[in-house]
Amino acid sequence: MVAPALELRNVVRRFGSVVAVNDVSLSVARGEFLTLLGPSGSGKTSTLRLIGGFEDLNSGAILIDGQRIDHLPAYQRDTATIFQSGALFPHKTVAENVAYGLRMRKVAPPDMERRIAEALDVVRLRGFEQRYPAQLSGGQKQRVALARSLAVRPAILLFDEPLSALDLSLRLQLRAEIKRLHDELRFTAIYVTHDQGEAMAMSSRVAVMNSGRIEQVDAPEKIFHAPASEFVYTFIGESCCLPVEVGPSGVADKSGALLPLHLGQSQPTGKSRLYVRPSRFRLAAEAAALPNRLRARVHFIEFLGDVYRYHLKAGALELAADHPGAIGVKAGEEIDVGWRNEDMSVFR
Amino acid sequence: MPEAAIRRSAEPFLFRTLAIAFTVFIVGYILVPILVTLVMSFNDAAMIRFPITVWSLRWYADFFGSAQWTDALRNSIVIAAGTAVISTSAGILCAWAFQRFPIPGRDALYVLIMLPLFMPGVVLGLGVAIAFGGLSIGGYSFYGSRAMVMLAHSLWAMPLVFMLMEATFRTVDNRIVEASYDLGGGPVRTFFEIVLPMVSTGIVSSLLFAFVISLNEFVMALFLTDRDTQTLPVLMWLSLRSAGTPRLAVASVILALTVFACLSLIMLWYIRQLRKVSQ
């Protein structure tokens, strides 16, 4: 059996009394693009820095190609990081920046020239060899950083929120470029981000992190459609939370009013939270044939561009439902809202 | 016109006049001693005295023709250069250690390092003279040697370099240091190839500051030099007691010009660096 390109075994990292990385285990196959996704403080950056060798772990093990590397300093690990700020060497030209890692690996000069040219080709920066970082735009800097890391052909590429300092259009453009590069070169990558759009668009798998732990590791589609935990459900995409009470006679809202909902078999009794994504609600006539249906009063309406968002109140419940067009109801009027069983998730 | 309005228009005028007068006074106060010395150095007379009747370069020729004076100038420059190298390398390494590593008793250590800077020169000079006065290594007497003065001057220059470099290192983006490690650069290579070039302005400033401090220093040099190693300020003081010839003014001008050249170099380097990073 081939050893995974990267393996984390029960990795723990504490900062004083704070457990930044709490018993994280992870296995990444060669050529995989795995994203660590989570809010700030979830331990995703700490995990990446542990792999790169910028932090020491308190316990556990990190293996690259089956070899333990957690005792090695950063400069002896076969990883290369693309930092958020680019972290280019300001007094070196683009070519010298790219050459640095190759020189450290004692690549012969003729080979080096070729690999610098290749790396700059790949990020479409040929002709920029003699520029200094101060003469480059933000996007170009990040592409040089990418070329510098790609040139050394590391076992693992580590991305530390490389796009978060760029503006939106540049971010989307570079996101597509990194994706294209991965499709071409099939490098193994760990990508840290708090942007779920990035995570979904680029990754072969996503690991959702929360307070130092991995909540779920799965393909992006699985993460989105079959979230393993309430945290994952609420962190990914938008969601509308309906707090309910499951009793022997059925499902009730906070005030005890029974709701005509079908939670499926074997829901334990007690307090639960029921989630539906705003885009999955159906309104008015479209709701008529659906198994879960409530009569709600329109609280207010927001225009969000692609959709109108209807903020609704049904008894003690508050809902937010998206609809592509205006449906001719005004605030204060009543409307039917419904959803399919499979569009509903229940957590307790 | 209401009285308040008149006062409003008059006040800035008064204020501006005062400000200008004050500035002129300060600039004059700073420049007069230098200018007087400069003028006096071109005096042909045998004594430092006004008015100047004949202008000449006689005393410059005299200064550079005298082995005693040129030796003193050479001593000053060699000691200043040595001080610059010793205190800059020590100060940089010390500041980098402060920046990178957790050091126990850091604040106390900081004060200790800065302490010599506030010590009177007599105290340091006497201390060094007593402590190392009898020291000789392999028959080479340490007392009175240039090396000893360099080390003594470094007591003053090193804390300054340390303070300057500690502040400079704080501006270094840690991610760039990490990027070097990440690409396989070890700590030593990272320090010399990545960190030092980023703080080159600080290094050049440190070297020149240390040079100037040593060049200007008089008290410790007086305690620690002998006839062969005495520096220009020491010789000037000794000869002032015997005869106040314009040769002294020439020596002053040469010292002042050296300091001025050092400051200009710092400025030039700073401008060069600014250009490089903001093209």
- Measured distance CA(A259)–CA(A274) in Å, rounded: 12
Residue A87: closest CA among chain B residues belongs to which residue? Answer: B176
Interface contact A83-B276, CB threshold 8 A: no
| Domains of chain B, residue spans | 1-40, 73-278
Interface contact A75-B185, CB threshold 8 A: yes
What's the CATH number of domain B73-278, 3.40.50.1970, 1.20.5.440, 1.10.3720.10, 3.30.465.10? Answer: 1.10.3720.10
Task: Give the three-state DSSP class for B243.
Answer: coil
Instruction: Identify which of A13-27, A230-244, A328-342 has the greatest average pLDDT.
Output: A13-27
> Which two tokens mark A253?
């809202």
Of B182, B185, B198, the CB nearest to A52: B182
> Which two tokens mark A294?
């409530």
- Measured distance CA(B265)–CA(B269) in Å, rounded: 6
Of A83, A105, A134, the CB nearest to B179: A83
Contact A348, A229 (CB under 8 A): no
Q: pLDDT per position in chain B (279 positions), as tens? A: 566 666 666 667 888 889 899 999 999 998 888 888 888 888 777 777 777 777 778 888 888 888 888 899 999 999 999 999 999 999 999 999 988 888 888 889 999 999 988 888 888 888 888 887 777 777 677 777 888 889 989 998 999 999 999 999 998 999 999 999 999 999 999 999 999 999 988 999 999 999 999 998 988 888 888 888 889 999 888 888 777 777 888 888 888 888 888 889 888 888 887 776 665
Closest CA to A293 of A237, A251, A256: A251
> Which two tokens mark A203?
């990754």
Helix ranges (DSSP H) in B196-246: 196-198, 200-216, 219-224, 232-242
Q: What is the share, in percent, of chain A residues with pLDDT greater than 70?
A: 96
pLDDT at A210: 92
Task: Looking at the complex, report in whole angstroms how far the Cα of residue B176 sits from the nearest Cα belonging to chain A.
Answer: 5
Q: Dihedral angle at the C-alpha atoms of A229, A230, A235, A240, nearest 10 degrees?
A: 140
How many CA atoms, within 13 angstroms, populate the side-chain half-sphere of residue B117? 15
Residue B274: closest CA among chain A residues belongs to which residue? Answer: A134
pLDDT at A265: 59
- Measured distance CA(B277)–CA(B260) in Å, rounded: 26
- Measured distance CA(A294)–CA(A283) in Å, rounded: 10
pLDDT at B3: 65
> Which two tokens mark A197?
């759009």
pLDDT at B278: 61
Query: Which of A56, A91, A161 is best to mutate for the B interface (most B CBs within 10 A)?
Result: A91
pLDDT at A45: 92
Residue B273: closest CA among chain A residues belongs to which residue? Answer: A91
Asked if the peptide bond before residue B51 counts as cis, ω within 30 degrees of 0, the response is yes
Query: Which of B182, B198, B269 is best to mutate for the A interface (most A CBs within 10 A)?
Result: B182
Task: Give the three-state DSSP class for B2.
Answer: coil
pLDDT tens for each residue of A237-271 = 888 888 877 777 677 777 666 777 766 656 667 77
Interface contact B176-A100, CB threshold 8 A: no
Whether A76 has a pLDDT exceeding 80, the answer reads: yes
Q: ipTM of the predicted structure?
A: 0.81
Chain A residues with CB under 8 Å of B278 CB are 134
State the DSSP H helix or E strand holding residue B29, giving kind and residue range, or none if neither.
helix B3-40
Interface contact A75-B182, CB threshold 8 A: yes
Task: Looking at the complex, report in whole angstroms how far the Cα of residue B197 sits from the nearest Cα belonging to chain A.
Answer: 7
pLDDT at A256: 67
Contact A147, A178 (CB under 8 A): no
- Give the pairing type, strands A292-303 and A308-314: antiparallel
